[in-house]
């Protein structure tokens, strides 16, 4: 009634986002919304008084809180498994590489762009200065490839000197993450 459920969901989402560094790829709020018929009673039970002298030290039931915590963590695991099934991380690199190779063949990306993208995928981020060394090319050619990859939305950077990272643009979601969004 007082909004504590919403506050708990927001705080949980923020804390998990910070602690797990997942980039928000999954959300416990989605899982809680899908299981409202279980969520609301568990949450309400947390406000019940202690059942006996062995049920916690405060005025509220510790047993109910433990039950809610178990339900909450099971919901988190369910959502991680759900997103893993959609994204198929074991195949993600292959899908991104196939996209890059197709873009190179059509001339939308310069030759060797796929090598830069693959390096960023493996490392998580790539210092811009490493691109020329990686490609055994000139700085100018490295900047051209970097610029093209940023232009497609495949890579991004916080500034012109900051490292490159994979951006997962919405316009490439159907190629990189098929099934994540409904078609159309």
E strands, 13-169, in order: 155-157, 164-166
Q: Are residues 169 and 95 in the same domain?
A: yes
31 assigned to some structural domain: yes
Write down the pLDDT at residue 182: 66
Q: Are residues 97 and 165 in the same domain?
A: yes
Q: Are residues 9 and 66 in the same domain?
A: yes
Degrees to nearest 5, angle at CA 25 with 20 and 31: 95
Q: Are residues 118 and 163 in the same domain?
A: yes
Q: Are residues 33 and 12 in the same domain?
A: yes
User: Which residues in the chain come in under a pLDDT of 70?
Assistant: 1-5, 23, 181-184
Write down the pLDDT at residue 1: 46
Q: Are residues 25 and 80 in the same domain?
A: yes
- Here the contacts of 2-10 (C-beta below 8 Å, separation 24 or greater) are 5/39, 5/40, 5/43, 8/43
Q: Are residues 73 and 106 in the same domain?
A: no
Residue 1: CA atoms inside 13 Å, Cβ hemisphere, count? 2
* Domain ranges, residue 120: 89-176
Distance CA 120, CA 164 (A): 7
Structural domains of the chain, count: 2
Q: Are residues 8 and 41 in the same domain?
A: yes
Instruction: Identify the domain boundary among 62, 87, 112.
Output: 87
54 assigned to some structural domain: yes
List phi, psi (to 5°) of 49: -70, 160
Instruction: Identify the domain boundary among 53, 87, 121.
Output: 87
182 assigned to some structural domain: no
Q: Are residues 95 and 41 in the same domain?
A: no
Q: Are residues 67 and 94 in the same domain?
A: no
Q: Provide the residue count of the chain.
A: 184
Distance CA 175, CA 38 (A): 36
- Here the contacts of 147-151 (C-beta below 8 Å, separation 24 or greater) are 148/109, 148/110, 148/113, 149/109, 149/113, 149/116, 149/117
Q: Are residues 71 and 98 in the same domain?
A: no
Report if pTM > 0.75. no
77 assigned to some structural domain: yes
Write down the pLDDT at residue 184: 58
């Amino acid at each position: 009634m007082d909004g504590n459920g919403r506050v708990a969901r927001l705080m949980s989402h923020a804390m998990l986002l910070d602690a797990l560094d997942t980039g928000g790829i999954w959300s416990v709020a989605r899982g809680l919304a899908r299981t409202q018929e279980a969520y609301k009673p568990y949450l309400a039970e947390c406000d019940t008084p202690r059942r006996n002298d062995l049920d916690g030290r405060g005025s509220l039931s510790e047993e109910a809180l433990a039950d809610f915590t178990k339900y909450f963590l099971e919901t988190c695991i369910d959502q991680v498994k759900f997103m893993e099934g959609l994204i198929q991380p074991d195949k993600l690199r292959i899908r991104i590489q196939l996209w890059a190779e197709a873009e190179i063949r059509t001339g939308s990306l310069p030759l060797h762009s796929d090598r830069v993208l693959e390096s960023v995928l493996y490392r998580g981020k790539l210092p811009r200065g490493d691109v020329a060394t990686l490609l055994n090319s000139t700085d100018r050619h490295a900047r051209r490839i970097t610029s093209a990859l940023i232009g497609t939305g495949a890579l991004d950077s916080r500034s012109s000197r900051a490292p490159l990272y994979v951006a997962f643009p919405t316009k490439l979601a159907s190629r990189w993450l098929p099934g994540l969004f409904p078609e159309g």
